[in-house]
Amino acid sequence: MGALSEFRLMRPASAADAVRLRGEFPASRFIAGGTDLLPNMRRGLVGTEVLIDLGGVGELAEMRHELCHNRDTLRIGAGVTLATLAADATVVSSLPALAQAALAVAGPTHRRAATLGGNLCLDTRCQYYNQSEDWRRGNDFCMKRSGNICRVAPKSNRCYAAFSGDVAPALIALGAEVELLGPQGLRRLPLADFYVDNGMNWLALGPDELLVAVTVPLVPARVSAYEKIRVRGAIDFPLAGVAVALRRDGDLIGELRIACTGVSSRPEFIAGLDELVGKPLDDAVLAVMERHLKRGIQPMETTLASVPYRRRATPALAKRLVRRLWDEARQGA
Ligand SMILES: Cc1cc2nc3c(=O)[nH]c(=O)nc-3n(C[C@H](O)[C@H](O)[C@H](O)COP(=O)(O)OP(=O)(O)OC[C@H]3O[C@@H](n4cnc5c(N)ncnc54)[C@H](O)[C@@H]3O)c2cc1C
């Protein structure tokens, strides 16, 4: 890794000030825990002369219950750390997929600094991109930084770097929304719509916008879980990650939501699963679910693990989680 280049550090005290500074310095970047941004700056992947440190913005670190769309909801500030999320009593009991995903990120020291906002806005990753500047120069760079072509799909005109954050799929499966603050004010959108299927421009975030908070509905009787496949048992990004949220109506599926990470340029909400609602969980239903999953993901050679492995492992992981949650939901009923 190279040396960190010189930068100016700004420390706003409010979200509104952070947005104003971002408008004033167009080449600036927000920094939260810095656990992704700083290594990327040292690798020459991100160049910026001004960093806007969100660490002093107290409102971003708040967590509270509130009523949203007439539902009991947990509102989590973007500055809440992953260690706090993973240990929070409401999150652990009512949103286990979120606690498990937060706990699956990097290692304990990273999670004490790393924030929810930074994880959701995480840069996309690829074996041709997350390398030192010398390595990338030796391989003629790639389209995402300094080059012209996508190394994993040379004939394509887009970049296929993969979104590999752990927390987004859990929150998408749980039906979360994001609150974004920009110069025009606050707007909300479903978290799934916050992402774009393009490795270079993967966020529907305006240039001056700040991710302020996430709201997650607390749905009674819904169970959820997150698991990932990785090379090592810790400090490793997902080769594939799957989050499932499920509700049982007796012996029938009441609700089934699945989202994946590491297998496309955005965290993928798996479409089409509504057709399984009202059916019992049997092999035929699991086969339909597998079809929807395979259609919904697009792993490319962005990691050392092969595409066929990730294409097979993702539905296998999902099936395992769904079966486990199905039993768990009956025991809780
Ligand atoms: C060794 C190592 C292993 C890792 N393993 C994993 C892993 O297994 N899973 C995983 O998901 N991640 C992993 N990471 C990446 C990173 O640690 C986490 O994703 C972390 O949650 C990022 O949060 P942060 O607060 O540190 O973000 P930062 O590094 O501060 O920021 C990341 C990006 O988000 C933007 N940003 C931050 N907050 C906001 C906001 N409120 N609004 C708008 N933009 C914002 C920043 O400008 C930057 O572009 C790993 C990192 C390392 C170094």
Q: Are 231 and 310 in contact (CB under 8 A)?
A: no
Q: Where are the beta strands (DSSP E) in the chain?
A: 8-10, 29-31, 50-53, 63-68, 71-77, 177-182, 185-190, 210-217, 222-229, 240-249, 252-261, 268-269
Taking CA atoms only, the protein residue closest to ligand 1 atom 19 is 119
d(C-alpha 126, C-alpha 162), whole Å? 6
Token pair 């066929």: residue: 308
Closest CA to 212 of 8, 3, 9, 17: 17
pLDDT on residue 210? 98
Q: Would you state the CATH architecture of domain 62-121+162-332? A: 2-Layer Sandwich (3.30)
Domain ranges (residues) in the chain: 1-60, 62-121+162-332
Atom of ligand 1 lying closest to residue 261 CA: 11
Closest by CA to 315, choosing from 287, 278, 280, is 287
Give the pLDDT confidence score for residue 332 in this predicted structure.
Answer: 60
Q: Give CA angle at 148 (162, 145), nearest 5°.
A: 55
Question: What's the CA-to-centroid distance between 105 and ligand 1, angstroms?
Answer: 10
262: alpha, beta or left, given left = phi > 0 and alpha = psi -120 to 50? Answer: left
Q: What is the DSSP letter of 274?
A: G
| Residue nearest atom 23 in ligand 1 by C-alpha distance | 118
pLDDT of residue 2: 76
Q: Which residues line ligand 1 (CB under 6 A)?
A: 29-37, 39, 54, 78, 82, 105-106, 110, 113-115, 117-119, 121-122, 165-166, 210-211, 235-237
Question: Which pLDDT value is given to residue 84?
Answer: 98
| Best residue among 35, 46, 48, 260 to mutate for probing ligand 1, ranked by most atoms within 8 Å of CB | 35
Q: pLDDT value at position 59? A: 97
C-alpha gyration radius of the chain: 20
Q: In the structure encoding, which two tokens stand for residue 284, read together?
A: 């035929």
In ligand 1, the atom with minimum distance to the C-alpha of 167 is 11
Q: Which element (helix H / strand E) includes 103?
A: helix 96-103
Confidence at residue 333, expressed as pLDDT on a 0 to 100 scale: 56
Cα torsion angle, 66, 69, 73, 75, sign: negative
Q: How far is the CA of 78 from the centre of ligand 1 (A)?
A: 11
> How far is Cα of residue 299 from the mean position of the Cα atoms in its chain?
16
Nearest of 195, 162, 171 to residue 261 by alpha carbon: 162
Longest dimension (CA), the chain: 61
Collapsed DSSP state (helix, strand, coil) of residue 288: helix
pLDDT value of residue 130: 96
Say what the pLDDT of residue 246 is. 98
Q: How far is CA 21 from CA 6, 62, 186, 278, in A?
A: 19, 22, 17, 51
Q: Which CATH fold topology does 1-60 show?
A: 3.30.43
Burial zone of 192 (CB within 10 Å; 0-12 exposed, 13-18 middle, 19+ buried): buried
Q: Which residues, given as ranges, of the chain have pLDDT below 70?
A: 331-333
3-state secondary structure 208-239: CCEEEEEEEECCCCEEEEEEEECCCCCCCCCC
Q: What is the DSSP string of 88-102?
A: -HHHHHH-HHHHHHH
